[in-house]
Structure 1
Amino acid sequence: MGSQEVSTVDWQGKHVTVAGLGVSGIPAARALHERGALVTVVNDGDDERARAQAAELEALGITVRLGDGATLPPSTELVVTAPGWQPDKPLFLAAAEAGVPVWGDVELAWRLRGDNGKKAAPWLAVTGTNGKTTTVRMLASILEAAGLRTAAVGNIGVSLLDAVLGDTEYDVLAVELSSYQLHWAPSLRAHSAAVLNLAPDHLDWHGSMEAYAADKGRVYEGNTVACVYNVADPATEDLVREADVEEGCRAIGFTLGAPGPSQLGVVDGILVDRAFVANRQKQAQELAEVTDVDPPAPHNIANALAAAALARAFGVEPAAVRDGLRAFRPDAHRIEHVADIGEVAYVDDSKATNTHATEASLAAYDSIVWIAGGLAKGATFDELVIGAAKRLRGVVLMGADRALIHEALTRHAPEVPVVDLDRTDTGAMSEAVARAAELARPGDTVLLAPACASMDMFTNYNKRGEAFADAVRARADESA
């Protein structure tokens, strides 16, 4: 199915099982029910919140089965799943045995776009281990600066179903896609797409690095204009080579160095385009300055180049790239400068929940007191420590798996002083900031970049970042 074609399905009387209540399951159940499908929602949980959600759906005439997400309901012709449900769940094994297809919320949104009589907006899709949300929001800002009706949707928190079925008629959508979502989206065909980077993550879900990469690579399937890859990460270019794309679709690289033909890159502090110009062998188009990107850390410049490449693939003029990047402000807890105290900068990158993100964060500063630790999710830290050792003034460790980082520091940076906090109470972050301040010298950066998930001590990475920011501001008030 080509990128601009719209799939039509006769939903009347079709038996559809929706797996999982929540952000994607409830809109999916409603949309299918409205189209005449006979919907049964199954959910593992049976708590108070789930019962309240079930009551709302049952009032519409939707069947809900709580506490049993493992059994395939009789007569099921299609399963629509929340993206986080693992492929080896009994429900999906039963579906496979019965020959029943399984779609994710993204696949359903793709199939339903244009279903309400609106124009089906093309999708500019972004995936990768790190940087997806920032890149998609940058892209949306650029598209808006070009005067296009757009929205940042998908894994970013705005339901794709709401976007494609809502009242607004978009010119183009900036779509963030996780590996989970791509796994369950077999017919998705984007206008153009980018894989920002690939590093081990969610391997417990995918089963192997090869399976994880293959699911990421699905974003390139059927692209019509551009497959955007990271020159510094050859695995992303390999995925482009393996993809089955529309005739005429081009491979477009982005690099922090000077770009070759069909690439975007950086020359003398300028973001330049040698891909979408009349003579890419000899010409380069200035797009923006490095200082137009907030913050101008190397990995964030890479995000900006990927966003610019997708926008240029859609025909956006250079001035809109510059204006969109200038207007963009990053989300909280992503290399967020909190305060300067005594010539020491305090930076919150609580979103750095894996080693790949933390490596990029550490590379942005010259002299660092690093606050790290939490749930390692099976990660190892030797390569991260080896790469960062020369930048480390000191390290403060906290969280359940801090010993893994401590062991890597002992092996590869034994001269770096380490503070090991053996506490998980709510005051632990305040002590971490205090101990980091003791290690820091004027010109240093105290950087929260945990390289781990947060759930051992905090509800999520947002709460962890807020605890850090609160502790820093309390110190700033004391020193004022």
Structure 2
Amino acid sequence: MRISQLDGRRVALWGWGREGRAAWRALRARLPALPLTVFCRAEEAADVRAAGDPLLAVDTEPDAARLAAFEVVVKSPGISPYRPEAVAAAQAGTRFVGGTALWFGERGDARGIAPGSVCITGTKGKSTTTALLAHLLRAGGHRTALAGNIGLPLLELADARAEYWAIELSSYQTGDVADSGVRPQVAVALNVFPEHLDWHGSHARYVADKLRLLTDARPRIAVLNAGDPTLAALSLPDSEVRWFGRADGWHLRGEVLHRGDTAVMDTVALPLPGRHNRGNLCAVLTAIEALGVDAAALAAHAASFRPLPHRLQALGVRDGLTWVNDSISTTPHASLAALEVYRGRRIALLVGGHDRGIAWDDFTAAMRERAPAAIVTLGHGVAGQNGPRIHELLAPLAPACRFALHAAADLEQGVRQARAALAGEGVVLLSPGAPSFGAYRDYTERGRHFARLAGFDPDTISTIPGLGIA
């Protein structure tokens, strides 16, 4: 759907976060006379009115009947289409679209492909992978946009031009690309683990929604992780498939990067924390080749990549302790990957956050073999937090597996307990394995608070480098 197709129709926006505001600006720039209604939270209503748009109405009660009064609702990604009121409105004929779908609708060429677009998704590692792709392409002299779920809505760049587009997509947005009717030039899928079950409703639906970027959006070239069983089992008859992590393509042998049988470089010194991130360099190089660019010539520029905040971010050393901010970790698998990065060192791990019902059995089983020195579970005494559930699973293991187990009401208490457990030697690792909802607005606010508690300036550690076009 193109924005021009909204002219003369009954249109609403649902959500007034950054995505919602970007959609309003994009629609208003092209359709200045179109009346719009914004469905938002009551506390956001004053901000909507402050925009000074006389054709912008505010509604703080998006029930099924109100939503069904509109032909099209431009929905922010965080709002699930599986909510009962959304389902009822859709059944009554309302069409829900996302800002990502509108951006792609504006970009299709004669073949129905968005030229230069590289969409990257995955449960873990997608932000770093997307930023690394933009970094390497820019190092090669290519004008490249870095946008999407990483922190800059695509519609904020609705009128911009770039040679290549490095686009991060969450599972909330992958369906938008499919719904746009415009195919990505390249789509990259890194991995699929249980995540966001509260938004999707079930693991099966999460996987199906995540994979719509491949199965329904039909990218011209699909770049897939050969080591992920879900991805390895896919059949994509409408796409050319290229694999990474396989011996005939870009892969790691130990820590050495290879293209087929050719050794390219050692990856140990690269600023990519964790072997999984160095493995995702293989995904980036495969995507660059899919664009027709010489990837081998750009690989060495990974050495100048600046790691993203809140993603295995080493803040520094205070009082003999290394402080690591992995606040973006929202699954138990991410917490396990973070522990692997610091294997061999004394670690105090901080875990727990908003409870979405995801199982921690694999994490618990891993603690039998490679538990850190201490685990602090967060959110005790706070409704909706999974720290107590994690604590209950770990408590029977702690004595035999020789790790200290502590319970904290909040992050401040948890940091104190982690500091005391390490007694001046080791790594304090915030890798919660769960979202921040309830205690914090988002993972950024949680990571900033952790930095402050550790004695670091939150402002200096929070900027995502390279957003936009360069």
Structure 2 equivalent of residue 148 of structure 1: 142
* Aligned pair partner of 1:40 in 15, 36, 42: 36
* Aligned pair partner of 1:369 in 348, 354, 363: 348
Return the alpha-carbon distance in structure 1 between the equivalents of residues 412 and 95 of structure 2.
49
Alpha carbons of structure 1 residues 109 and 292: separation in structure 2 relative to 1, 3 Å = farther
1:155-214 residue CA offsets vs partner (Å, 9 max, x unmatched)? 111110122323xx2001001111111234412411111111111111121122111111
1:81-122 residue CA offsets vs partner (Å, 9 max, x unmatched)? 11111223355334422333221111111112379xxx9643
* Aligned pair partner of 2:373 in 387, 393, 396: 393
Aligned positions of 1:286-301 closer than 5 A: 286-291=263-268, 293-301=270-278
Please state if 1:421 is matched with 2:421.
no
Please state if 1:453 is matched with 2:435.
yes
Structure 2 equivalent of residue 477 of structure 1: none
Structure 1 equivalent of residue 451 of structure 2: 469
* Aligned pair partner of 1:50 in 45, 56, 71: 45
Return the alpha-carbon distance in structure 2 between the equivalents of residues 348 and 330 of structure 1.
12
1:113-143 residue CA offsets vs partner (Å, 9 max, x unmatched)? 379xxx9643101111111111110111011
Q: CA deviation at 1:153?
A: 0.7
**Residue 179 of structure 1: SS of its match in structure 2?**
coil
Contact 1:152 1:173 in 2 (8 A): yes
Structure 2 equivalent of residue 178 of structure 1: 170
Higher relative contact order (CA 8 A, sep 6+): 2
Structure 1 equivalent of residue 387 of structure 2: 402
Alpha carbons of structure 1 residues 453 and 29: separation in structure 2 relative to 1, 3 Å = closer
- TM-score relative to the length of structure 2: 0.84
Structure 1 runs not aligned, ≥5 long: 1-5, 275-283, 475-480
- TM-score relative to the length of structure 1: 0.82
**Residue 322 of structure 1: SS of its match in structure 2?**
helix
Alpha carbons of structure 1 residues 223 and 109: separation in structure 2 relative to 1, 3 Å = same
Q: CA deviation at 1:463?
A: 3.5
Alpha carbons of structure 1 residues 413 and 316: separation in structure 2 relative to 1, 3 Å = farther
Return the alpha-carbon distance in structure 1 between the equivalents of residues 65 and 448 of structure 2.
40
Contact 2:116 2:291 in 1 (8 A): no
**Residue 126 of structure 1: SS of its match in structure 2?**
strand
Return the alpha-carbon distance in structure 1 between the equivalents of residues 405 and 202 of structure 2.
34
Please state if 1:22 is matched with 2:22.
no
Amino acid at match of 2:257: L
Return the alpha-carbon distance in structure 2 between the equivalents of residues 458 and 17 of structure 1.
28
Q: CA deviation at 1:244?
A: 4.8
Q: CA deviation at 1:50?
A: 2.5
Structure 2 equivalent of residue 64 of structure 1: 58
Return the alpha-carbon distance in structure 2 between the equivalents of residues 41 and 288 of structure 1.
54
Please state if 1:302 is matched with 2:279.
yes
Alpha carbons of structure 1 residues 12 and 407: separation in structure 2 relative to 1, 3 Å = closer
Structure 1 equivalent of residue 199 of structure 2: 205
Contact 1:70 1:89 in 2 (8 A): no
Q: CA deviation at 1:303?
A: 2.2
Structure 2 equivalent of residue 356 of structure 1: 333
Structure 1 equivalent of residue 422 of structure 2: 437
* Aligned pair partner of 2:186 in 192, 196, 211: 192
Structure 1 equivalent of residue 460 of structure 2: none
* Aligned pair partner of 2:306 in 322, 329, 332: 329
Amino acid at match of 2:416: E
Return the alpha-carbon distance in structure 2 between the equivalents of residues 364 and 74 of structure 1.
49
Contact 2:14 2:74 in 1 (8 A): yes
Alpha carbons of structure 1 residues 200 and 10: separation in structure 2 relative to 1, 3 Å = closer
Amino acid at match of 2:390: I
* Aligned pair partner of 1:253 in 243, 246, 271: 243
1:385-411 residue CA offsets vs partner (Å, 9 max, x unmatched)? 222433322223332332222222234
Structure 2 equivalent of residue 266 of structure 1: 252
Contact 1:191 1:223 in 2 (8 A): no
Amino acid at match of 1:379: I
Amino acid at match of 1:389: R
Contact 2:2 2:102 in 1 (8 A): no
Amino acid at match of 2:207: A
1:391-445 residue CA offsets vs partner (Å, 9 max, x unmatched)? 3222233323322222222344532232423433x7414413322323x75xx43
Structure 1 equivalent of residue 120 of structure 2: 126
**Residue 312 of structure 1: SS of its match in structure 2?**
helix
**Residue 295 of structure 1: SS of its match in structure 2?**
coil
Amino acid at match of 2:323: Y
Deviates more, 1:14-23 or 1:409-418: 409-418
Q: CA deviation at 1:296?
A: 4.1
Amino acid at match of 2:133: L
1:200-248 residue CA offsets vs partner (Å, 9 max, x unmatched)? 1111211221111111111124545431222221102234x1x3524xx
Structure 2 runs not aligned, ≥5 long: 381-385, 457-470
Return the alpha-carbon distance in structure 1 between the equivalents of residues 251 and 349 of structure 2.
30
Structure 1 equivalent of residue 223 of structure 2: 228
Return the alpha-carbon distance in structure 2 between the equivalents of residues 173 and 333 of structure 1.
23
Return the alpha-carbon distance in structure 1 between the equivalents of residues 158 and 441 of structure 2.
31
